[in-house]
Amino acid sequence: MRGGGALAIGVARGRLPWNAIVECLVEALRTSASIFMLIIGVFLFQYFLAVTQTSQHVAEWLTKLPYAPLTIMIFIVIGYLAAGTFIDEVATMLLTVPILHPVVMQLGFDPVWFGVIVVTTATIGMIAPPVGIICFILNTMVRDISLMQIYRGVMPLVAADMVRLSLLVAFPAIALYLPRTMN
């Protein structure tokens, strides 16, 4: 509604030429198409996981490992950090949560806590070197700052986020305090 109103005002005032409108609509169509393709791919992937029972097999395999549940969770966190550096946050979550959620439940962890850990970890991965998708996006937007300067600038943020993530993993009550007060 608001977008339509802004479009109508821009056209009525004569400040928005038709070629700019067409260009915006084409770009919106491309963005929407890429999002829908991602969603279709995720649905196909989830269907494949359901048919092959991959989630159950991965859950059985991970829960039978001779490690403590917290150690397995740390491996999962490291995997999310690695995936977050290369893959978009939403795509990472859509592809991995259907597989790892049953594992986390069988290990006895709270699903809300797992959700907080996943979002936090994927977000850290998006700014963390060596890749850090957000750093590359920023570098393309601001050409007079080198990628190395951007990496140096985000390192204190990555360090602070890693401390926060460590606290969330070590003390789940931090992430679960507010949800527990709501019951």
Q: How far apart are CA 55 and CA 103, in angstroms?
A: 8
- pTM of the model as a whole: 0.71
Tokens of 133: 């998708």
Break the chain into its structural domains and give their ranges.
1-52, 54-181
Q: Note down pLDDT in tens along the chain; length 183 residues.
A: 677 777 788 778 877 788 888 888 888 888 888 878 878 887 887 788 778 888 778 878 887 888 888 898 999 999 888 887 777 788 888 888 888 898 898 889 999 999 999 999 988 888 888 777 788 888 888 888 888 999 999 999 999 999 999 999 999 999 999 888 887
Residue corresponding to tokens 């957000």: 134
Q: What is the pLDDT of residue 1?
A: 65
Q: How far apart are CA 116 and CA 174, in angstroms?
A: 10
Q: What is the DSSP string of 62-77?
A: HHTSSS-HHHHHHHHH
Residue corresponding to tokens 């570098």: 139
Give yes or no for a contact between 74 and 169, defined as CB atoms under 8 angstroms apart: yes
Q: What is the pLDDT of residue 49?
A: 77
